[in-house]
Structure 1
């Protein structure tokens, strides 16, 4: 992808999308797949908001069963398998264990019924059969688990994803289908004619260039920025979002080979301890957030809350704050409703204001494809059929063995496997760069198999502009335990070489 903001003023698009998170990216991808002319702008980097600050799960949402949202769970389980087929390099099955203790809010019989119902709703889309465990079997699955009061447990399966790259693959596929796309361009205000919006005034933030974009239809997929932008433009948006904050910790090492789902003893919220890139992802919190989406941070109280619960569940593990690799906080843009944050539905809503602008809010990451199609139906007043096979940028079967490729390119087999798991069938595009400059075959750091060619690829073909775009959303290096930070230094050096 090439960032060319000058072309945006030369067209009147069928559809302009403001927001480059997963919903905006998917709308662009599917709209272009149905032959529409589309433009997409994002004021930061793609997936730099909520879409890269998730629990990294593509799941049905087992906890929504107690809210009786069976339709949402069933739909999510169907979408989960579609994503696993479209992006097996980014979406992989993951086993979960739920230990159940005496006096837990959700007793063992309820958890057994829950996982049975979960698999029933998944039907042919299930990816693994649940099991019931006695206390010793729970201990076998999670050796360091607290055993006092342990009555048993259950296992079930869901999927884990690389959220930022899954969003990026929708962006790249949209670009492949002809969508004009750019990051680091901010929508300033609406252009109106006869009280109807016909476009926007925009600013290119890299070179401080003001320009206009016109379109027949505009949809705002702004996530937690929805209320801020609608109020700024005095758009009478009735269906506002309620933002809740979710905090995660990345902790050194693995507590278990399985993901562990635990209920907090105080507020009864569910949280996860999940294997993630050789370490553990712990989260999440769910609290209302009233501040600016541009300034959401992880608070000490959030970290203390999560560590306290982990210590309770794994009492024999020496939990230390200095073993935290990183923390991150994201905002859920839920459709506004009354009640505690964890009880609010994760269903999406689409609204059209009087001036003709469409707004999408809420939804689960897992159902992004359904959300995108519902948006198109709302905008154009007709049902768009799902494309026969949902394709992403790295979709397809990889036939070449890693061993053969490693020998051909003079690389370690581990590096080739890493490229396949990052780019899918597009791994070869990265390998081709090593022919241009053999020095790009080298690892950028001892902490991971990432090579210099990936940094070059991110800059030249994935529109990465800042170091953080590469570190967090192209290569996912920020989650790794790297004492030297040599990878950060290498990325900075290569970025300065290619971006003046």
Structure 2
């Protein structure tokens, strides 16, 4: 077995750049790790950060990109789970509210922001006191910490707050607050923070085999899906944090799982901000669950659906029926209905729910489960995005029985993400920063809410040309694309357009109109020639075309067949995926 040696410190702590990929590959093959974590979603990177800050030697491998699955396709809320109060899951709500508070105040204030919601009341006499009692409990459990508590509104007051509502759609309303974040950006920042504390965090690195010594798991064999190289990674324990792929990885290990994971598809649509005139988001009851109308910069995100999905786990497809469901339900309360022509973007994600007795996925518990499924192998699944930090800590605790020596307790409730330190002071210096870099103050605020105190690192190396907007996507600067490739691990055009930025859902062209320009910017970092640039653009365009086409199909099978025809950006990726 390879000898233990101290990890090499990256040139820029927390950077995920091309040079770091090379050095991390060497580390994977030469070191013995305490933990190898499979899966670069928010739970995986959360576990990596948890382990690294406990002083453990950690490697995280992800077959595609950080947050390429569920963790980039959520409702983008850090919410306390108000609707779980009705299911009497008080512990889950209390835990989620504590995590929301930590994100807002200490861990990620640059990424996680308060957001208000109006709950329209539709029944006289009983609904207001019933809902108010639930919100009072919510506020008492922490829902009113760092954000305003509930506010009761008459019908007139609610309509002043949300003029887009039909007057006869409500008899009054209650406003409450939660929090939101760009989920993909947050996940990537957690991964960078783990790397900052010494973890190997490597994408495009697929687990192709589970290594064993006698009856215990001793590591994984991985393939670099960019060039086909393979190496063995030795570790005292392995954590399977692959979300909806949990069962597939379990089969790869040859061990019998302790729980099963059911994939539930959630679809969201994105519409322009001016299509719904409102000062607040909304939460609407449906016959199955709830529908959110969430402010998102110059847009609204409306969703979600909640249906079983048993097809391609990597690329869940939204159907015309999914989109119609969302439009039909939101239009019951809007004075000016939304149409298909209003939609700028659509995305579909899969919730990894613990399989239970209920046939309705919306009623399955959002609790998570951790199990030591074999000596040296731990699996974690279920849960919700908001509680990723707790899930990561629980997974590391479960793996500790296979680690030599006694490990330290989790401290991630005290560890800010990269970019958090100094953020509040920089917010007060927006005008000075704008003058210093020759940018409009609104641009600086945009950058601060994406990079925090890393904003200097982003801007100081940029030539003036890179401080111009991305062609056909003016919300973003060209330097953000270059930085995504040089520091944030973006290896392909789709990584930059769908996760490091949200161009793929924020513009009607879904990134196609700026694909050539963005690929050219990434080529500066990755050294792509014109042939590679052309391939990246073609693969991305084929993806968008397939997604658009799938969204006109009536059912999952037809939509999946259309979406699955698009090529993979990562050429040597195979199933099962880690």
> TM-score category by the smaller chain?
over 0.9
Distance in 2 of aligned mates of 1:54 and 1:295:
14
Distance in 2 of aligned mates of 1:409 and 1:465:
28
Q: Which residue of 1 aligns with 2:357?
A: 338
Q: Which residue of 2 aligns with 1:63?
A: 83
What value does the CA root-mean-square deviation take over the aligned residues? 1.9
Moved more, 231-240 or 318-327: 231-240
What are the within-5 Å matches in structure 2 for residues 143-292 of structure 1?
143-148=163-168, 150-254=170-274, 255=276, 256-264=278-286, 267-292=287-312
Structure 1 residues 286 and 95: alpha-carbon distance in aligned structure 2, compared to 1, 3 A threshold: same
Q: Which residue of 1 aligns with 2:344?
A: 325
Q: Which residue of 1 aligns with 2:431?
A: 403
Matched, 1:495 2:522: yes
Distance in 1 of aligned mates of 2:371 and 2:149:
39
Q: Which residue of 2 aligns with 1:99?
A: 120
What are the within-5 Å matches in structure 2 for residues 6-17 of structure 1?
6-17=26-37
Unaligned runs of 5+ in 1: none
Matched, 1:470 2:492: no
**Post-superposition CA distance 1:417-456 (Å, at most 9, x none):** 221111001111101121xx33212211364342221111
SS where residue 416 of structure 2 aligns?
coil
SS where residue 99 of structure 2 aligns?
helix
1:334–1:362 contact (8 Å) kept in structure 2: yes
**Post-superposition CA distance 1:369-414 (Å, at most 9, x none):** 1111111221215771435622101111233422222222222322
**Post-superposition CA distance 1:100-123 (Å, at most 9, x none):** 21399x933321211111101116
Distance in 1 of aligned mates of 2:201 and 2:478:
25
SS where residue 291 of structure 1 aligns?
coil
Q: Which residue of 1 aligns with 2:539?
A: none
1:273–1:282 contact (8 Å) kept in structure 2: yes
Distance in 2 of aligned mates of 1:16 and 1:210:
16
Distance in 1 of aligned mates of 2:294 and 2:344:
14
Distance in 2 of aligned mates of 1:336 and 1:388:
30
Distance in 2 of aligned mates of 1:124 and 1:134:
21
2:219–2:238 contact (8 Å) kept in structure 1: yes
Matched, 1:389 2:414: yes
What's the TM-score, normalizing by structure 1?
A: 0.95
Q: Which residue of 2 aligns with 1:42?
A: 62
2:59–2:200 contact (8 Å) kept in structure 1: yes
**Post-superposition CA distance 1:2-41 (Å, at most 9, x none):** 2122321101100100000001101111211111010000
Moved more, 119-128 or 84-93: 119-128
Distance in 2 of aligned mates of 1:318 and 1:375:
46
SS where residue 313 of structure 1 aligns?
coil
Distance in 2 of aligned mates of 1:488 and 1:421:
24
Q: Which residue of 2 aligns with 1:440?
A: 466
2:236–2:376 contact (8 Å) kept in structure 1: no
What are the within-5 Å matches in structure 2 for residues 450-469 of structure 1?
450-469=476-495
Structure 1 residues 460 and 112: alpha-carbon distance in aligned structure 2, compared to 1, 3 A threshold: same
2:266–2:305 contact (8 Å) kept in structure 1: yes
SS where residue 356 of structure 2 aligns?
coil
Distance in 1 of aligned mates of 2:466 and 2:226:
27
Distance in 1 of aligned mates of 2:381 and 2:135:
29
1:91–1:159 contact (8 Å) kept in structure 2: yes
SS where residue 14 of structure 1 aligns?
strand
Q: Cα distance, 1:94 vs. partner?
A: 0.7
SS where residue 148 of structure 1 aligns?
helix
Count of matched residue positions in the alignment of Structure 1 and Structure 2: 494
Q: Cα distance, 1:478 vs. partner?
A: 2.2
Distance in 2 of aligned mates of 1:18 and 1:424:
28
Matched, 1:427 2:427: no
Q: Which residue of 2 aligns with 1:87?
A: 108
Q: 1:121 aligns with which of 141, 153, 163?
A: 141
Distance in 2 of aligned mates of 1:413 and 1:487:
25
Distance in 1 of aligned mates of 2:100 and 2:523:
39
Structure 1 residues 205 and 103: alpha-carbon distance in aligned structure 2, compared to 1, 3 A threshold: farther
1:414–1:449 contact (8 Å) kept in structure 2: no
**Post-superposition CA distance 1:216-253 (Å, at most 9, x none):** 01001000111122123332102111111111111122
Structure 1 residues 25 and 190: alpha-carbon distance in aligned structure 2, compared to 1, 3 A threshold: same
Unaligned runs of 5+ in 2: 1-15, 402-406, 529-578
SS where residue 374 of structure 2 aligns?
coil
Q: Which residue of 1 aligns with 2:558?
A: none
2:143–2:149 contact (8 Å) kept in structure 1: no
SS where residue 163 of structure 2 aligns?
coil
Q: Cα distance, 1:300 vs. partner?
A: 1.1
Q: Cα distance, 1:165 vs. partner?
A: 1.0
SS where residue 216 of structure 1 aligns?
strand
Distance in 1 of aligned mates of 2:419 and 2:522:
24
